[in-house]
Structure 1
Amino acid sequence: MAGAAAAVQPLESSLLPAELSVILPSFNEADNIPILIGLLDKALAGIAWEAIVVDDNSPDGTTEVARKIAHGDPRVRVIRRIGRRGLSGACIEGMLASSAPFVAVMDADLQHDETLLPKMLAALKADDTDLVVASRKVEGGTVGEGLSKIRAWGSNIANGLAQKLLNVTLTDPMSGFFMVRREKAEELAPRLSPQGFKILLDLVSSANGTLKIKELPFTFRERQHGESKLDTLVTLDYFGLLLAKYFGDIVSVRFLMFGLVGASGLLVHLVALRVFLLSDMSFNLSQTAASFVAMTSNFFLNNQLTYRDRRLRGFGALIGLLTFYAVCSVGVLANVGVANLIYADPSFWLFAGAAGAVMGAVWNYAASSALTWRKN
């Protein structure tokens, strides 16, 4: 690892103002960063470039590794984020930290082909183009070995939804590898969500068709070191972004994420309610118990997804859960009270349970945002 870092010898041209900033959002990429900087040095020979490593306080020492490289190479800069998590937010901060006329965003896990960067830059400079996207879907592009069959299938569905719901014309709106004129990125930044993982989709949909876009084919490579940061919960995150953009950003992505988690909690609530009723518990007691089962489910899902940038761990998670119970108790009272008014016949259990659960939703969101996952 040290050898890879030492191999990078900045040229005198590196002291010139950067023409291109390469934004590298990272989390636990200590093994990959030195290799990637060496690859960028080779691929961008003759171009005044800089790399901005935006690290989400990685426990594996990614920040320290990047800073050691930066100490000997002025083309490398490091932003360490504490108390903030998420790829989109890291990309936005990196782009806003740049003064170069062009900025590229690529993963730090070596799955994106750095040799495409000069072609992307040439396309932006030669054509009347605002955004160049590395696409796996245009002719000549493939996913290679980088995606499993299941992830490739999910990516295709996500692409289709983005194209249909948001009228995005990109063949690969899920791509995380692109280059844009910095002035355009800066203009759109106030409309972008710092949450989530799909910064390109957010960028294009926020532009409302004003960006002139070109796509270039590339092959998505297999990860060499570390583990993928994507998990199944990212699906909810993606749908939250889709809904937020579809409704014109009237409500925040976080609120929609909370709502999606709440919808799953409603299902949990109704299943638990039915189980308790079948065990001959009274409706009031069953509704109360089901509420706490749903709250527990909602807490852990929200902690993993909706508030992943403020995620509670260890003893803090236990305190957070107790706080979540406390602040939602008012919602539970409303839940049980309204449901009890409606529940006059056992055949109405579904409607009564659903109505009661919905009544507490707004309070739960406001209280949990202010108290359970409050910003430090």
Structure 2
Amino acid sequence: MADASQINFLPAELSIIVPTFNESQNVPLLAEAVAKALPGVRWEMIYVDDNSPDGTSETVRQMALVDPRIRVIHRHNRRGLATACIEGILSSAAPYAAVIDADLQHDEKILGAMLERIRQDNVDLVVGSRYVEGGGVGDWDSKRVMVSKVATRMATRLTRTPISDPMSGFFMVRRDAFLRSLPNLSSIGFKILLDIAASAPQPLRVAEVPYTFRTRQHGESKLDSLVLWEYLQLILDKAFGRYIPARFMSFAMVGSFGVFVHFTILTIMFMGVGATFEVSQAAASIVAISNNFFLNNALTYRDQRLKGRALFFGWVTFNLVCATGAAANIGVADWLFGRNTYWVLSAIAGVLVSVVWNYAMSSLFTWRRRS
């Protein structure tokens, strides 16, 4: 890393935003690689760390004592790659901002070419692309390639912007272009490039620079099956978010599966076991409520996910606030069934009452944001 006496203290032209979680081994390697890749460029590197238990924030602080171009934003009780990138960009005054992963899978050597391209007045956004000539996905297996291509097709239809790799997490954007997109950003999931492009009031002017995706050196990948759910949430939010909040759509999708669970239990007990309709409906309601709680905790409220003791108390709270809804569910369904309404229609009416109550009360109490 450069000695402090060699650093140009003029204002940074380029802010490099690096969202991190458990990347203590990688962050010094990335800083050294960037310093070599950008000789003569006034840059700063802003690590946005989500309170990594491996001490990533402290590692960056020690780096910053040697090189003042390096800073850290240490977030507590906040998680998410998209929001980390947004906070990092907003914390800087540089006219250009780049986003790069900390795991060294993005090729920092093309940052210079990206900067040269974005300095031209006819470009708002420069994307490090795996899908233009000269780029590549490295050692990805066929399944990951297929998933990426499907997600890319979906994203391309949404952005209205010709980007060969809208799923890239490696890009550079003009500050003025980012600020135009800012009011409409969804801040959902991990594909902030897609969010920026789809949120722009006018299509962005885009250039692409090829690179080959590299293998992670240290640590574990942050990708898991739930990021696909977040991606779906982002797509739905950009398509329909002006009419329906994305969190409500996620809650509704979980609720749809809860309806399946409800009817499965109801059918088994009422049609199979021969229990009374009242008992069957009550059992189905209890199981469906618990199912919705755990799925919403994992999916809809992933950024506010309850763990440990909080998970147990959240489950208790969820059941308590839904008690009135459950009672209304049973009461409405039983009342309709007693008046010769078909049992399926009776159950649907009860479920609808529970869904409305569950969403409103869980937003207020179970997953409320805590300071």
Q: Which moved more, 1:87-96 or 1:157-166?
A: 157-166
In the alignment, what sits opposite 2:133?
139
Task: Pick from 200, 208, 219 the counterpart of residue 193 of structure 2.
Answer: 200
In the alignment, what sits opposite 1:239?
232
Q: Aligned AA for 1:142?
A: G
1-side partners of 2:130 and 2:336: how far apart?
A: 53
In the alignment, what sits opposite 2:170?
177
Query: Is 1:89–1:193's contact at 8 Å kept on the other side of the alignment?
Result: no
Deviation at 1:184, TM superposition (A): 1.7
Task: Pick from 241, 250, 263 the counterpart of residue 256 of structure 2.
Answer: 263
How far does the alpha carbon of each residue in 1:150-169 deviate from its partner, in whole angstroms, 9 at most, with x for none? 23222222222222355453
In the alignment, what sits opposite 1:4?
none
In the alignment, what sits opposite 1:48?
42
Closer/same/farther in 2, CA of residues 247 and 69 from structure 1, 3 Å limit? same
Deviation at 1:353, TM superposition (A): 3.4
Deviation at 1:35, TM superposition (A): 1.0
Closer/same/farther in 2, CA of residues 321 and 91 from structure 1, 3 Å limit? same
2-side partners of 1:349 and 1:111: how far apart?
A: 56
2-side partners of 1:89 and 1:149: how far apart?
A: 30
Closer/same/farther in 2, CA of residues 220 and 373 from structure 1, 3 Å limit? same
Task: Pick from 194, 211, 219 the counterpart of residue 218 of structure 1.
Answer: 211
What does 1:72-111 align with in structure 2 at a 5 Å threshold? 72-111=66-105
Q: Aligned AA for 2:314?
A: G
2-side partners of 1:18 and 1:57: how far apart?
A: 26
How far does the alpha carbon of each residue in 1:333-363 deviate from its partner, in whole angstroms, 9 at most, with x for none? 2332333345479995544434432332232
Task: Pick from 292, 298, 304 the counterpart of residue 286 of structure 2.
Answer: 292
- Partner SS state of residue 237, structure 1: helix
1-side partners of 2:137 and 2:75: how far apart?
A: 31
Q: Which moved more, 1:210-219 or 1:345-354?
A: 345-354
In the alignment, what sits opposite 2:331?
337
- Partner SS state of residue 306, structure 1: coil
How far does the alpha carbon of each residue in 1:230-262 deviate from its partner, in whole angstroms, 9 at most, with x for none? 221222211111111112533332222222222
How many residue pairs end up in the alignment? 369
* 1:122 lines up with 2:116 in the alignment: yes
After superposition, the CA RMSD in angstroms is: 2.1
Task: Pick from 266, 269, 272 the counterpart of residue 265 of structure 2.
Answer: 272
* 1:67 lines up with 2:61 in the alignment: yes
1-side partners of 2:9 and 2:114: how far apart?
A: 23
**Percent sequence identity over matched residues?**
50
Deviation at 1:182, TM superposition (A): 1.1
Task: Pick from 305, 308, 318 the counterpart of residue 311 of structure 1.
Answer: 305
2-side partners of 1:267 and 1:165: how far apart?
A: 31
- Partner SS state of residue 77, structure 1: strand
- Partner SS state of residue 73, structure 2: strand
* 1:249 lines up with 2:245 in the alignment: no
Query: Is 1:95–1:186's contact at 8 Å kept on the other side of the alignment?
Result: no
In the alignment, what sits opposite 1:151?
144
Query: Is 1:28–1:59's contact at 8 Å kept on the other side of the alignment?
Result: yes
Deviation at 1:306, TM superposition (A): 2.1
In the alignment, what sits opposite 2:20?
26
Show structure 2 runs of 5+ residues with no match.
Answer: none
Deviation at 1:316, TM superposition (A): 1.1
Closer/same/farther in 2, CA of residues 240 and 38 from structure 1, 3 Å limit? same
Closer/same/farther in 2, CA of residues 333 and 190 from structure 1, 3 Å limit? same
How far does the alpha carbon of each residue in 1:287-320 deviate from its partner, in whole angstroms, 9 at most, with x for none? 2222222222222222223222222111111001
Deviation at 1:112, TM superposition (A): 0.8
- Partner SS state of residue 117, structure 1: helix
1-side partners of 2:65 and 2:353: how far apart?
A: 56
2-side partners of 1:175 and 1:45: how far apart?
A: 25
How far does the alpha carbon of each residue in 1:50-89 deviate from its partner, in whole angstroms, 9 at most, with x for none? 1100011111111111111111110111001111111111
Closer/same/farther in 2, CA of residues 269 and 78 from structure 1, 3 Å limit? same
Closer/same/farther in 2, CA of residues 27 and 349 from structure 1, 3 Å limit? farther
- Partner SS state of residue 126, structure 1: coil
- Partner SS state of residue 133, structure 1: strand
Q: Which moved more, 1:354-363 or 1:66-75?
A: 354-363
